Amino acid sequence: MSKYRNLIITSALAATLGAAPAFAEKFGLGRTALPEEIAAWDLDISPDGTGLPVGSGNAFDGEELFADYCAICHGDFAEGVDNWPKLAGGMDTLDHEDPLKTVGSYWPFLSTTFDYVRRSMPFGNAQTLTDDEVYAIVAYILYSNDLVDDDFELSNENFLEVEMPNAGGFIVDDRLTSEAHFVREPCMADCKEGTPEVVMRAMVLDVTPEETKARKVQELMDATKPDADRDTAAVAETAVVAEAATEEAEPVAEEAPVEEVVALDPEMIAKGEKVFKKCKACHQVGEKAKNKTGPVLNGIVGAPAGAVEGFKYSKPMAAAGEDGLVWTEEELTAFLTKPKAYMKKTKMSFAGLKKEADIDAVLTYLKSFGQ
């Protein structure tokens, strides 16, 4: 709390706090929160264990849960996939260039891990894990950081005994002292020795998104060929750069699927689009759809299973595809009702759609995206 004491010097604020008992009259708005309501929302867990639910889980079970629910983003060994957070490793790298900050190497409190997994994970399906499952997953994350053995069981009883390697690695904001020298008279002339020179350029690194370059190419084309015939040599030369700029020209291509849509009920499509929000964390549809955590779903209704190009399926899904499984509406309905029951070990960490009407709507929506 020393940070707080630093700030309180401000006299106005000190007065504010001193006046605590003399609060203004109340407006009588709102209603008393019921204990059940507070219990449902007050889930935060403090470093001293306040808020921890009763329960336990071991690293062995956690490994299986992690493979089912977490590995698709965080990797089987919590090492991270693509740009997704790495949860393990990085010990002793904090003073290196590009330190690797993981639960093991950086996070000061275990309570933070439990709190976050229980409330916000799995991504796109938060608050679906039981407390015991969360204990098991947290135990596995500790194990993946070599902080416990594989038979370790984590519970509310032994939670505070786990030592986090970087617990002592933080200091409270000290800018007001360590950077006090930035309070100064600004220099106006001869502020540098010699003539300032360019020592690094963003253009050399070349990581700026293409749109802005594309805009400039567009300007070039406008400036040099203000009228019609743009599809000549200049365009061919700039084709690579202009890729992003062609988006504007694309609506023509989008007209094709519209015909197929005609037979579908627009209201159902709209309803399905809403339901699809539950899927969007992992799946994309439409013209620019790419494989993400889950495969692109264009044309999925009626398509063979496990067949989207470039997507790495779970073994059972790939096998089912090879065995000739086709995503008919019936099969998809069964899958979406309870994915893990339909196909054990599917990568799809989704609890399922409870309402049949939601499934119908989402299938209609998916059908509106031909191929």
Partner 1 sequence: MSDSFKAKSPSRRQFLSGAAAVGAGVVAGTTAKAAGPDPLITQVQDWASGTGDGVDATPYGLPIDYESDVVRRNVEWLTADTISSINFTPIHALDGTITPQGCAFERHHSGAIELRKQDYRLMINGLVDNPLVFSYEDLERFPRENRVYFCECAANTGMEWAGSQLNGAQFTHGMIHNMEYSGIPLRTLLEEAGLNAAGDLKDKWVYVEGADASSNGRSIPMEKALDDVLVAFKANGEALRKEHGYPVRLVVPGWEGNMWVKWLRRIEVTDQAVESREETSKYTDTLEDGTARKWTWEMDAKSVVTSPSPQSPIKHGHGPLVITGLAWSGRGAITRVDVSKDGGKTWETARLAAPGEKMAMTRFYLDTTWDGEEMLLQSRAMDDTGYVQPTKAELRDVRGLNSIYHNNCIQTWWIKSDGEAENVEVS
Q: Within positions 111 to 130, which residues make up the interface with partner 1, using CB under 8 A?
A: 111-112, 115-116, 119-120, 123-124, 126-127
Q: Residue 310 interacts with partner 1 (CB under 8 A)?
A: no
The secondary element (H helix, E strand) that includes residue 155 is strand 153-155
Specify the residue, 127 or 232, whose C-beta has the smaller distance to partner 1: 127
Total chain residues near partner 1 (CB under 8 A): 109
Question: Which residues are registered as beta bridge partners of 58?
Answer: 153
Smallest gap from Cβ 340 to partner 1, in A, equals 20
Instruction: Answer whether 247's CB lies under 8 Å from 215's CB.
Output: no
- Of 233, 230, 261, 223, nearest to 248 by C-alpha is 230
Q: Residue 9 interacts with partner 1 (CB under 8 A)?
A: no
Q: Residue 228 interacts with partner 1 (CB under 8 A)?
A: no
Q: Residue 7 interacts with partner 1 (CB under 8 A)?
A: yes
Q: Residue 145 interacts with partner 1 (CB under 8 A)?
A: no
- Of 302, 279, 286, nearest to 358 by C-alpha is 279
Q: Which residue has the tokens 């899958």?
A: 335
Q: Residue 101 interacts with partner 1 (CB under 8 A)?
A: yes
Instruction: Answer whether 67's CB lies under 8 Å from 77's CB.
Output: no
- Scan residues 250-269 and list those touching partner 1 (CB under 8 A): none
Smallest gap from Cβ 201 to partner 1, in A, equals 5
Give 106's Cβ-side CA count (13 Å radius). Answer: 14
Q: Which of 42, 161, 229, 231 binds partner 1 (CB under 8 A)?
A: 42
Q: Residue 46 interacts with partner 1 (CB under 8 A)?
A: yes
Q: Which stretch binds partner 1 (CB under 8 A): 177-185, 299-307, 331-339, 348-356?
A: 177-185
At position 199, the amino acid (one-letter code) is V
Q: Which residue has the tokens 């986090």?
A: 164
Smallest gap from Cβ 110 to partner 1, in A, equals 10
Q: Which residue has the tokens 């679906």?
A: 128
